[in-house]
Amino acid sequence: MNTIVLPKKSSFGQVQIPLPSSKSESNRVLIIDALTEGKNKLSNLAEARDTQTMIRLLKEDPATYDVLDAGTTMRFLTAYAALNNRKKTMTGTARMCERPIGILVDALKELGASITYLKKEGYPPLSIEGFSGQKTNQIEIRGDVSSQYISALLMNAPLLPNGLVLDLTGKIGSRTYITMTLELMKAFGVDYVFEGSQIRIAPGKYQATTFSVESDWSGASYWFSLLACADAGELYLKGLKAESLQGDAKIVDIMDKLGVESEFQSDGVILRKKEITGLSSFDFTHCPDLAQTVAVTCALTGQTSDFTGLESLRIKETDRIDALQKELAKIGALLEERKPGVFTLVPATIIPETVRIATYDDHRMAMAFMPLITRTKLVIDDPEVVNKSYPSFWKHCSLLEIVPEYNNE
């Protein structure tokens, strides 16, 4: 197994970090671009493996869409192929084929798609066998599992002959990602109505336009965390906007309570240290990808906090709740479900001189635990896992005058 060793470093000077582009925005505009027959002028697309996989599959148009480990790509391309009468086989890595897709498939079948499971019911691989014509223009879908199912349907909705009325049932999770999808559709000429738990999209066409993808707020969150945990430092994160479509921009408010103030400039944001006021609780329903980052930050800054809205973490690249519990235990921290759906973070106690973190094939586990370098020497397993969303992450760590050591065991 490959590992990366990062020496302890608790303070640093003024450092500028050139962030990656938003994977979430990139993946959405690529589907919209395909539905506009590639007539748009897109720039600053993400270098993340997920996005590059989608670019390759849309360009090459193979009979089998092998999405590797890209969950977003699996869901978006499944809906794209099914509702545009493209006969495809959908597959991916072993873990990808353990991630459920039944809710989306049921919705697509209800609309008129013909889809067969090739192995286990409710999971990839799938055979998409065509679209027989729109059977209905109004369906229900659960709002509490994955917003990507909802986004996948919405982006294709304008090209359905009768449009789409989508009724979301139950608690609506990751609402900010749904809003991002709708606002990006609007940027390409498609209007929507989102009232209560119902979304209405009229039939129509996307309009070709010019679009530049914003820098990635989830990628930015690890640098917020590092500064919160450090003794001293100042960071400048390029390419972020004060008014962002990305739900993970909520990290600004969270980290304001954990000791980081943000000052927006014309082309980015300056992060500075400030007094910690405390984060007693937080609901991650609309920004679940921040949970690991905030958990580690609280553990290292002495904050006991109650976390809710973590339901979707069970079906990510790994069971992120289980992975967090195991790795936080290595620094004496706990993440306990003391009430149903409420996880209490109890901060670190005694941190060993060297800590080795397993990553569970999950890019966010590797990056979320990086701020441990402010307390100890850190060894991270399978560092290449960051290529899924932030390929230059370890290179950017070196901007802090940290010299990573790579080992192959």
Compute the C-alpha angle 172/178/182, nearest 5°: 140
Rounded to whole angstroms, how far apart are CA atoms 373 and 384? Answer: 18
Beta strand pairing status for 305-308 and 342-346? antiparallel
CB 129 within 8 A of CB 105: no
CB 399 within 8 A of CB 17: yes
At 114, which helix (H) or strand (E)?
strand 113-117
Strands (E) across 231-333 are located at: 232-238, 260-265, 268-273, 281-283, 305-308
Residue with tokens 């890019």, as numbered in its chain: 363
Q: Which of 386, 394, 364 is nearest to 291 (CA)?
A: 364
Strand partners, 14: 234
Catalytic, out of 66, 248, 289, 382: 289
Residue with tokens 């409710």, as numbered in its chain: 122
Residue with tokens 């999808």, as numbered in its chain: 181
Q: Which of 298, 302, 307, 316 is nearest to 368 (CA)?
A: 298
Q: What is the DSSP string of 28-48?
A: HHHHHHHHTTT-SEEES---S
Residue with tokens 């092998």, as numbered in its chain: 66
Rounded to whole angstroms, how far apart are CA atoms 181 and 231? Answer: 39
Residue with tokens 């904050």, as numbered in its chain: 303
Q: Is 289 among the catalytic positions? A: yes
In degrees rounded to 5, what are phi and psi of residue 188? Answer: -105, 20
Show which residues are catalytic: 289
